[in-house]
């Protein structure tokens, strides 16, 4: 039995190795199919991650607000703790206060400059630079227009403390808190952000004399919309003082685009699979056709239909194996190139995809060879006696 098996493999290896030029065409079609298949599957599974990162450019997708006034830094930290750190792209707390610039009321927002940069990467600095340290002010474009401000200007921002606000309403003389800021840049977003001035949270706390007060926190989370919903409800139950809500505009469109993109990749994968099968079937038909004499001879010297099928199937499955190995390597390279050029980030290697590609490649080759191989058994052994 061992000798017989050894001869079986000796024959199919000889057929593949010594008929290289013929077999390379078949191998190429299988390898290309396997490459595109494994590449597309890689992309299919990586698209949510890639697109998630891409979508994070469109702003925060979760907003934390406080219930019954207990929205403290501690509670926010607890709520943020629910989201895995690798999925949390950024968090920006906001506190809004009415302040005055040149005696005119303006809304100032205290925040974390680095956090805003992460949650709202689309904020455009028209003139100047991003605000980074204490004493720097980012001024919305509408405010800048109204006050004719530009980057580098120094302005005074004043605030009427709560204790003085009643007096201020009565037009009495009040003692305002004030502080000088340097305008680091002019903010352009195309949205309501242009009506505010932004300063580091610590500056606002100093200006108002009130600390640990936050109105809302924007989170940018790299997760699917279903996962986001889970996180939101988990936050609601784990930190009851915090209310987590999703920015539907962002999460819903993200989900829609993802579904469509994945459906497209899946469709292309199926089409490639079908084309590979047609290609392999055509190649195998040609292989069988050019080996009619050999099949006739094998039958004439006593090969049963079963052994003819076994030998040809063995050959095509071995081709499938080689094609699958080549395909899983090239597929990774292909997916990597697509990822780098389309999403500007590298793709993660999925070891499980290697055996899956090989198995699928063997199966596809086997199935598509079935018809031509079955037709090989119809070849008349008498063919070899006719002296053709």
In the complex, which residues of this chain contact another protein (CB under 8 A)? 3-4, 6-8, 10-11, 14-15, 18-19, 293-294, 297-305, 307, 380-382, 384-388
Question: Which of 247, 236, 370, 226 lies closest to 308, judged by CA?
Answer: 370
Q: Which three-class secondary structure state does DSSP give residue 247?
A: coil
Q: Considering the complex, what minimum distance in angstroms separates the CB of residue 304 from another protein? A: 6
Q: In terms of CB distance, is 308 or 353 closer to another protein? A: 308
* Angstrom distance (rounded) from CA 159 to CA 165: 10
Q: Considering the complex, what minimum distance in angstroms separates the CB of residue 10 from another protein? A: 7
Q: Considering the complex, what minimum distance in angstroms separates the CB of residue 31 from another protein? A: 21
DSSP 8-class letter at 133: S
Q: In terms of CB distance, is 14 or 77 closer to another protein? A: 14
Which residue is associated with the tokens 């010594």? Answer: 18
Structure tokens at 239: 């930190």
User: 318: how many CB neighbours lie within 10 A of its CB?
Assistant: 19
Residue 179: beta bridge partners? 157
Length of the chain: 388
Q: Considering the complex, what minimum distance in angstroms separates the CB of residue 286 from another protein? A: 16
Sequence-ordered list of residues with C-beta below 8 angstroms from that of 319, at least 6 positions apart, any chain: 16, 23, 26, 27, 30, 365
Q: In terms of CB distance, is 69 or 387 closer to another protein? A: 387
Q: In terms of CB distance, is 306 or 351 closer to another protein? A: 306
Q: In terms of CB distance, is 11 or 367 closer to another protein? A: 11
Q: Considering the complex, what minimum distance in angstroms separates the CB of residue 12 from another protein? A: 10
Q: Considering the complex, what minimum distance in angstroms separates the CB of residue 54 from another protein? A: 52
Q: Where are the alpha helices (DSSP H) in the chain?
A: 2-18, 20-55, 73-82, 113-119, 141-147, 162-169, 201-208, 225-238, 248-290, 292-300, 305-338, 353-376
Q: Considering the complex, what minimum distance in angstroms separates the CB of residue 323 from another protein? A: 20
Q: Where are the alpha helices (DSSP H) in 248-376?
A: 248-290, 292-300, 305-338, 353-376
Q: In terms of CB distance, is 13 or 178 closer to another protein? A: 13
Q: Which three-class secondary structure state does DSSP give residue 97?
A: strand
Q: In terms of CB distance, is 16 or 354 closer to another protein? A: 16
């Amino acid at each position: 039995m061992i000798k017989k098996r050894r001869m079986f493999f000796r024959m199919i290896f000889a057929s593949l190795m010594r008929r290289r030029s013929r077999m390379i065409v078949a191998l190429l079609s299988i390898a290309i199919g396997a490459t595109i298949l494994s590449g597309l599957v890689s992309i299919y599974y990586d698209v949510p991650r890639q697109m998630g990162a891409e979508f994070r450019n469109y702003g925060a997708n979760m907003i934390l607000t406080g219930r019954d006034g207990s929205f403290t830094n501690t509670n926010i930290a607890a709520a943020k703790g629910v989201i895995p750190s690798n999925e949390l792209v950024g968090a920006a707390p906001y506190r809004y206060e009415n302040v005055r610039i040149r005696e005119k009321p303006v809304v100032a927002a205290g925040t974390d400059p680095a956090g805003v940069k992460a949650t709202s990467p689309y904020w455009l600095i028209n003139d100047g630079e991003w605000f980074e340290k204490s004493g720097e002010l980012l001024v919305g474009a509408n405010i800048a227009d109204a006050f004719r401000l530009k980057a580098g200007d120094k302005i005074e921002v004043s605030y009427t403390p709560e204790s003085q606000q009643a007096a201020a309403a009565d037009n009495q003389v009040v003692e305002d808190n004030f502080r000088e800021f340097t305008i680091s840049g002019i903010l352009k977003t195309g949205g309501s952000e242009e009506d505010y001035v932004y300063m580091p949270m610590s500056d606002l706390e100093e200006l108002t004399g009130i600390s640990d007060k936050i109105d809302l926190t924007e989170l940018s989370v790299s997760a699917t919309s279903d996962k986001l919903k889970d996180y939101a409800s988990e936050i609601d139950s784990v930190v009851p003082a915090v209310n987590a809500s999703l920015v539907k505009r962002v999460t819903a469109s993200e989900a829609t685009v993802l579904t469509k993109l994945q459906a497209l990749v899946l469709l292309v994968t199926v089409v490639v699979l079908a084309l590979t099968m047609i290609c392999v079937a055509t190649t195998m038909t040609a292989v069988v056709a050019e080996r009619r004499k050999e099949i006739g001879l094998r039958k004439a010297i006593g090969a049963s239909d079963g052994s003819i099928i076994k030998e040809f199937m063995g050959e095509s499955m071995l081709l499938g194996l080689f094609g699958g190995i080549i395909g899983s390597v090239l597929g990774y390279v292909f997916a990597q190139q697509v990822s780098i050029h389309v999403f500007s980030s590298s793709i993660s290697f999925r070891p499980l995809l290697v055996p899956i590609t090989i198995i699928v490649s063997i199966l596809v080759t086997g199935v598509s060879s079935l018809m031509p191989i079955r037709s090989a058994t119809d070849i008349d052994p008498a063919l070899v006696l006719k002296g053709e």
